[in-house]
């Protein structure tokens, strides 16, 4: 494998969101990357920002760090909006004579 390209693109707004029936926030589902946004809570790690919303909606966590899109999809209540985050994306390809070196 080789690095083929990279680019930076902002994410959807990152938010702290909770279920409407969660009175107190003790646990927060989060992907490891934005976990610093939930430093004061016990964390349940998710495979993605969207998965964090799924875990919260399934009552596996009281709240989640997710995107505004995922929070709205699962009808979670947004507690805090952290805004967009610039995210670096890396594209890899198999080593091939057909690709130019970067």
6 within some domain: no
41 within some domain: yes
Please count the structural domains in the chain. Answer: 1
Model confidence at 87, in pLDDT bands (50, 70, 90)? confident
The per-residue pLDDT for 20 is 87
By percentage, how much of the chain surpasses pLDDT 90? 75
pLDDT in tens, 69-86: 999 999 999 999 999 988
Domain CATH code at residue 34: 3.40.190.10
Model confidence at 40, in pLDDT bands (50, 70, 90)? very high
d(CA 73, CA 58): 13
83 within some domain: yes
Instruction: Give the contacts of 19 (CB within 8 A, at least 6 positions apart).
Output: 56, 57, 59, 62, 63, 76, 77
């Amino acid at each position: 494998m080789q690095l083929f390209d990279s680019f930076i693109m902002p994410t959807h707004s990152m938010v702290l969101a909770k279920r409407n029936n969660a009175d107190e926030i003790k646990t927060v589902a989060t992907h490891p990357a934005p976990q610093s946004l939930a430093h004061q809570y016990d964390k349940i790690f998710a495979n993605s920002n969207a998965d964090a919303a799924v875990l919260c909606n399934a009552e596996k966590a009281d709240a989640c760090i997710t995107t505004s899109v995922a929070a709205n999809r699962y009808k979670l209540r947004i507690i805090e909006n952290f805004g967009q985050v610039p995210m670096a994306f890396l594209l890899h390809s198999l080593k091939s004579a057909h690709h130019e070196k970067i």
